[in-house]
Structure 1
Amino acid sequence: MPEQAPPAGPRPPPDAGSRRRILAPLALAQFICSFAGSNMNVMINDISHDLGTTVQGVQVAITIFLLVMAALMIPGGKLSDILGRKRCFLAGLVVYGAGAVLSAVSPGLGVLILGNSILEGVGTALLIPPVYILTTLLFTDLTSRARAFGIVMAAGGVGAAAGPLIGGLITSAISWRAAFVFQALIVVLIIILSLTLEDPLPPDPGRHFDVPGAVLSAAGLALIVTGILAADNNLWLTAALLTTGALVLLRFLRRVNREERAGRDPLLSSDLFRNRTSNLGLITQNAQWLLLMGTSFTVAAFLQAVRGYDAIETGVIFTAATLGLLASSLAAERLATRASQRFLIMTGFVIAVAGIAVLIALVAGSAGPWAFAPGLLLIGLGLGVMLTPSVNVVQSAFPEQRQGEISGVSRSISNLGSSFGTAIAGTILVAGLSKNAYAAAMAVLAVVGLGGLAAAARLPRTPAPAAGRDAAGQGRPGDGPQR
């Protein structure tokens, strides 16, 4: 079907008050979804005792959440174009909130899986793509978009890094059920703040939704995530699942090409995979989230299993990374006016890898908890410097009509990075929780960081086209260069 034409003429930039109103619900949504992905780790024992299940049972619930979220992110991005960004965002919030309430009152593991794993997973897949689409569409120049993404990414990074601390405090002070009530209350707040949110593009309900393509993409991603998560138990099973998942995704890509040749609208446009700038940006996103979640898992496991710290003490030590990430993310607008996106991404990887080196060296020479602070601070600073420009580079590489699709792909790639980070660290650590295993896991993450640096170095200095351009690649008045 013909694509919706972009609105004629430039959109006036939002004023300061409007920007705060726009960003508040989007940033809070990213925060709560990132929080949900990390805070469950410190509640496993409490949940298993309260629900009369095993630790493995709760881990299954966490795994299913990751599978549902990863499998449905691409279809969720497509639905945002069909239903409308605001409508999809609100629907995702309602589904997520219902899942949080159901989890809070769950009498057993089955209801917890339905609420936390299924409903919260579906809700996340529906609401996260609109966060990135709306941020891209509502902030059209480089510096304002960098500031907006900086706030959104800071909220996500804080949710992921501080999730264990916040979850641990709530669980210790009240109960694990209160942590889900906390999520539900935040969702209610986001819905209230979102009522005045404006969708800059009208929905296109007549647009085709490729159901077989959605099934293939979801199945392929689910198999790959399952394979990644199985890495610390059975490497042969991992290899089989990854191979099968890759074959399913290959079939999905062949279907995309077949649908396009037939003149139909596939789930994803093949143009998404032909853009060199976007492809390199996606690689850096994958590496960044791998570093974030891999470091979080490795250091948390070492602190609790080897050093004997509890969840709250572990969360306090991670405050250094949270502060570093928050500080550099919130400086994204100022940094974007002084350096190119490519330079910022490269700098972020250099700082993060240096932080890993400092972390390994200081922890090896000291038994005190403060030995972790300098390295974690540097890792947080590095991640905050590069998370925003990486997202900006990818989103800005496509016109408005492709924002739903690229947002789904971008979030799926980031989720795969998070899963890889946990799996790589876990696979190494199962060999024996010792200083050597810890150092080996962190060294592997440093190598990944160097790989991300190499990909960032290949980014063009002036990527184009900007997201504000039309399908023919012609810029609208007011569109500036993307540096």
Structure 2
Amino acid sequence: MAGNVVTGRTKEELRRVLVPLALAQFICSFAGSNMNVMINDMSEDLNTTVEGIQTAITIFLLVMAALMIPGGKLTEIVGRKKLFIIGLSLYGVGAVISAMAPNLFVLILGNSILEGVGTALLIPPVYILTTMLFTDVPSRARAFGAISGMGGIGAAAGPLIGGFITTTISWRAAFIFQALVIVIIILLSVRAVQDPLPADPSKPFDTMGAVLSAAGLVVLVTGIMLADNDLLLMMLFLAAGVLLLLWFFLHVRALERKGEEPLLSTGLFRNRTSNLGLVTQNVQWMVLLGTSFVVSAYLQVVRGYNAIETGVIFTAATAGILISSIAAERLAKRHQQRSLVIAGFILTLCGIALLLAMVYGNPTAWAFAPGLLMIGLGVGTMLTPSVNLVQSSFPDQLQGEISGLSRSVSNLGSSLGTAVAGTILVAGLVTWSYGLAMITLAVFGLVGLVTALMLPTNPVSATPDTPHH
């Protein structure tokens, strides 16, 4: 590797590759949170309820989580660049359908299903291409910093941009905005993005494993969403979800014993650093998206703020993620990745505590700003090191699988955050339910902190010749 060349590409070429990849992560994260500030407008326009919009948001996040592992595996069969373009195209069509939706059913079809499937196909190639093209540790850290930072900014800025577009034009225009960004990414990708390895269409695809893993995750989260409706039904769904995932694990083990290639190698779960890193990723997105939904819904439904007012309050979280993302490279040089993840969780927990302490007895909207700023700073500080810890634990030949698993775990966190905290909030939509939802997110944050404390001090990165199991 020459000074300015990585995998045969100059720094300038790699920068051009990074732009569409980072933009793709931005728009997908934006889609996961921008609807939070449209809750009132959309529920009135589509003749539905807050719970109906929450369902659409959760299904979108859940479809991503459920299909991310199959999406990661398909990158090897279809090709990373080709799958990236296919995913972007599906996403764009879904955004246009959502913009024209006459009712909740069509919105779920466009936003939750088509955009969700599109995201599951386009996101694994983003992380696989980044890992394969940026081969040295500093350049890979910078690349993941840019992509994770854009993801965090997209999630945090979603309420502000979505709120501005909704208030000045219409909530439908927010979906047109997404479609336009997708067109720009496709145009940039056609020339800039090149696949380092050829596709292998002869590679087997574990269809049974894909069905079992997706069904298990969908049924599990559906069970959580039923918490405020029917306790018995919730328990049945949770049990069915666990059984489906257990069946998936046994299916994978059986294929491996026969010498066949499963959807997901069990070897991915034998790396302690990666396992702990995956848990921290899950909790980070659970807290970020859970907080975004809870605070947005509370401000609009209980406090009566409109979309733009709610979005403006969220600039604090956006600023926090932006500041910590800009500082990511400098922080990575001075501190261990483990230390950054720990610091991130401590800041995030302090932010949740501030949201709880300052909102009660203080009627001003800006009471939310300090807590949201702290959460933004915390999440921004730990996003990049968590991703890097996981991706760098495995060689190139396992990047398809680990990228799919990593993104699935993160998006499962997003859907769980919205489902768990949202279900608690929607059950009451009063001050006490807001407090209970935030306390629940704080408990998850504590789990993340404990997990981060268990991370090794000096994790060993994998090289192409050293598989880690």
Structure 1 residues 253-268: aligned runs within 5 Å = 253-268=249-264
Taking the aligned partners of 1:278 and 1:360, their CA distance within structure 2 comes to 33
Taking the aligned partners of 2:23 and 2:322, their CA distance within structure 1 comes to 14
- 1:37 paired residue number: 32
Taking the aligned partners of 2:175 and 2:437, their CA distance within structure 1 comes to 32
Please tell me whether the aligned partners of residues 147 and 331 of structure 1 are also in contact (alpha carbons under 8 angstroms).
no
Taking the aligned partners of 1:427 and 1:48, their CA distance within structure 2 comes to 17
Amino acid at match of 2:134: F
Please tell me whether the aligned partners of residues 231 and 423 of structure 1 are also in contact (alpha carbons under 8 angstroms).
no
- 1:140 paired residue number: 135
Please tell me whether the aligned partners of residues 227 and 237 of structure 1 are also in contact (alpha carbons under 8 angstroms).
yes
Matched, 1:294 2:290: yes
1:18 equivalent among 13, 22, 27: 13
Taking the aligned partners of 1:472 and 1:322, their CA distance within structure 2 comes to 38
1:55 shift after superposition: 5.6
2:332 equivalent among 329, 333, 336: 336
Q: Which moved more, 1:39-48 or 1:161-170?
A: 39-48
Matched, 1:73 2:68: yes
- 1:481 paired residue number: none
Taking the aligned partners of 2:53 and 2:298, their CA distance within structure 1 comes to 21
Matched, 1:273 2:286: no
1:383 shift after superposition: 0.5
Taking the aligned partners of 2:406 and 2:307, their CA distance within structure 1 comes to 31
Cα distance change, pair 276–353 in 1 and its aligned pair in 2 (3 A): same
Cα deviations across residues 192-242 of structure 1 (Å, max 9, x unaligned)? Answer: 111121222222222110111111111111111212222343343332212
1:379 equivalent among 370, 375, 380: 375
Cα distance change, pair 329–440 in 1 and its aligned pair in 2 (3 A): same
Taking the aligned partners of 1:461 and 1:418, their CA distance within structure 2 comes to 28
Structure 1 residues 18-417: aligned runs within 5 Å = 18-51=13-46, 58-195=53-190, 196-417=192-413
Q: TM-score, normalised by structure 2?
A: 0.93
Amino acid at match of 2:389: V
Taking the aligned partners of 2:361 and 2:136, their CA distance within structure 1 comes to 47
Please tell me whether the aligned partners of residues 153 and 388 of structure 1 are also in contact (alpha carbons under 8 angstroms).
yes
2:436 equivalent among 434, 440, 444: 440
Give the aligned length: 464
Taking the aligned partners of 1:247 and 1:215, their CA distance within structure 2 comes to 13
For the aligned residues, what is the CA RMSD? Answer: 2.2
1:256 shift after superposition: 0.6
- 1:421 paired residue number: 417
Please tell me whether the aligned partners of residues 167 and 307 of structure 2 are also in contact (alpha carbons under 8 angstroms).
no
1:51 shift after superposition: 4.7
Please tell me whether the aligned partners of residues 353 and 371 of structure 2 are also in contact (alpha carbons under 8 angstroms).
yes
1:58 shift after superposition: 4.7
Q: Which moved more, 1:247-256 or 1:223-232?
A: 223-232
1:108 shift after superposition: 4.5
Q: Which moved more, 1:24-33 or 1:132-141?
A: 132-141
Matched, 1:464 2:460: yes
Cα distance change, pair 116–294 in 1 and its aligned pair in 2 (3 A): closer
1:440 shift after superposition: 3.1
1:398 shift after superposition: 0.8
Q: Which moved more, 1:111-120 or 1:82-91?
A: 111-120
Q: Per the alignment, in what secondary structure is the counterpart of residue 43 of structure 1?
A: helix
Cα deviations across residues 160-216 of structure 1 (Å, max 9, x unaligned)? Answer: 122122122212222222212111110010001111212222222221101111111
Taking the aligned partners of 1:107 and 1:302, their CA distance within structure 2 comes to 26
Please tell me whether the aligned partners of residues 38 and 163 of structure 1 are also in contact (alpha carbons under 8 angstroms).
yes
Q: Per the alignment, in what secondary structure is the counterpart of residue 337 of structure 1?
A: helix
Q: Per the alignment, in what secondary structure is the counterpart of residue 393 of structure 2?
A: coil
1:471 shift after superposition: 5.0
Cα distance change, pair 145–304 in 1 and its aligned pair in 2 (3 A): same
Cα deviations across residues 46-66 of structure 1 (Å, max 9, x unaligned)? Answer: 445445566655554434323
Amino acid at match of 2:136: D
Please tell me whether the aligned partners of residues 399 and 469 of structure 1 are also in contact (alpha carbons under 8 angstroms).
yes
Amino acid at match of 1:82: I
Amino acid at match of 1:269: S
Q: Which has the higher helix share?
A: 2
Sequence identity (%): 66
Cα distance change, pair 127–174 in 1 and its aligned pair in 2 (3 A): same
Please tell me whether the aligned partners of residues 166 and 308 of structure 2 are also in contact (alpha carbons under 8 angstroms).
no
Q: Per the alignment, in what secondary structure is the counterpart of residue 264 of structure 2?
A: coil
Taking the aligned partners of 2:443 and 2:62, their CA distance within structure 1 comes to 26
Taking the aligned partners of 2:366 and 2:96, their CA distance within structure 1 comes to 38
Q: TM-score, normalised by structure 1?
A: 0.90
Taking the aligned partners of 1:111 and 1:357, their CA distance within structure 2 comes to 39
Taking the aligned partners of 2:255 and 2:101, their CA distance within structure 1 comes to 43
Cα distance change, pair 286–137 in 1 and its aligned pair in 2 (3 A): same
Taking the aligned partners of 2:287 and 2:51, their CA distance within structure 1 comes to 25
Taking the aligned partners of 1:448 and 1:337, their CA distance within structure 2 comes to 29
Cα distance change, pair 146–279 in 1 and its aligned pair in 2 (3 A): same
Amino acid at match of 1:81: E
Cα deviations across residues 50-109 of structure 1 (Å, max 9, x unaligned)? Answer: 455666555544343233222211111100111111111011011111222222234454
